[in-house]
C-alpha cells in the first residue's frame, strides 16, 4: 500500500502543472485516472479523454501561468488539494486570462498517484 503524504501530492500537483503548461498529453495520461470525472465552471461534466483532447487539438493553450498550492488534506488513502492558478492563454482561439481555483481528489491507482475527481472555477478579479 502506498502512503499518500502532502509532499507526494505537492510533487504530483507540480508534475500536473508542468504537463498542462506544455500540453504534454503523455504525462497527463499518466496523472489522470481513466475514470476521472471533473466539473467545469458552468457545471459541465468532463472526462479524461475530453481533457486530453483539448491538449491534443490545441483547443486550449496556456501561454503563461503560475500556481500556488493553497491546501492539501489527507484522508487515509485519498488526498484533496486546492490550487490557485494564475494563467493567460487561449481557449478555442479566444483570449482567456485570470485566476482559477482547482479542487482535486488524488488516489493511488496501480501504484501511481492519479487525479480521480476535480472541479475548477474562475475567481473574481
CATH (domain of 90): 3.10.450.50
The confidence score (pLDDT) of residue 41 equals: 86
57, pLDDT greater than 70: yes
Residue 60 located in a structural domain:
yes
Domain coverage including residue 71: 6-122
The confidence score (pLDDT) of residue 93 equals: 83
The confidence score (pLDDT) of residue 86 equals: 95
pTM score over 0.85? yes
What is the grid cell recorded at 43?
A: 457545471
Q: Provide mean pLDDT across the span 82-96.
A: 90
Structural contact between residues 65 and 88, judged by C-beta atoms closer than 8 angstroms: yes
Residue 89 located in a structural domain:
yes
Coil, strand or helix: which one is 14? helix
Distance, C-alpha 44 to centroid of its chain: 16
Structural contact between residues 2 and 84, judged by C-beta atoms closer than 8 angstroms: no
Coil, strand or helix: which one is 76? coil
Residue 20 located in a structural domain:
yes
Residue 31 located in a structural domain:
yes
1, pLDDT greater than 90: no
Q: Could you tell me how many residues make up the chain? A: 125
pLDDT band at residue 3 using 50, 70 and 90 as cut-offs: confident
Instruction: Specify the number of domains making up the chain.
Output: 1
Residue 1 located in a structural domain:
no
pLDDT band at residue 111 using 50, 70 and 90 as cut-offs: confident
Long-range Cβ contacts of 29-33 (<8 Å, 24+ apart): 30/112, 30/114, 31/113, 31/114, 31/115, 32/114, 32/115, 33/107, 33/109, 33/114, 33/115, 33/116
Q: Which residue has the cell 503523455?
A: 26
Structural contact between residues 68 and 84, judged by C-beta atoms closer than 8 angstroms: yes
Q: Provide mean pLDDT across the span 59-87.
A: 94
Amino acid at each position: 500500500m502506498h502512503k499518500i503524504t502532502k509532499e507526494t501530492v505537492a510533487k504530483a500537483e507540480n508534475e500536473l502543472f508542468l504537463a498542462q503548461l506544455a500540453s504534454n498529453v503523455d504525462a497527463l495520461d499518466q496523472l489522470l485516472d481513466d475514470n476521472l470525472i471533473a466539473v467545469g465552471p458552468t457545471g459541465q461534466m468532463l472526462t479524461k479523454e475530453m481533457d486530453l483532447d483539448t491538449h491534443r487539438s490545441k483547443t486550449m493553450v496556456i501561454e503563461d501561468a503560475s500556481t500556488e498550492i493553497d491546501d492539501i488534506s489527507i484522508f487515509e488513502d485519498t488526498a484533496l488539494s486546492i490550487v490557485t492558478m494564475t494563467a493567460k492563454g487561449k481557449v478555442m482561439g479566444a483570449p482567456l486570462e485570470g485566476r482559477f481555483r482547482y479542487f482535486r481528489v488524488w488516489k493511488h491507482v496501480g501504484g501511481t498517484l492519479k487525479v480521480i475527481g476535480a472541479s475548477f472555477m474562475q475567481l473574481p478579479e
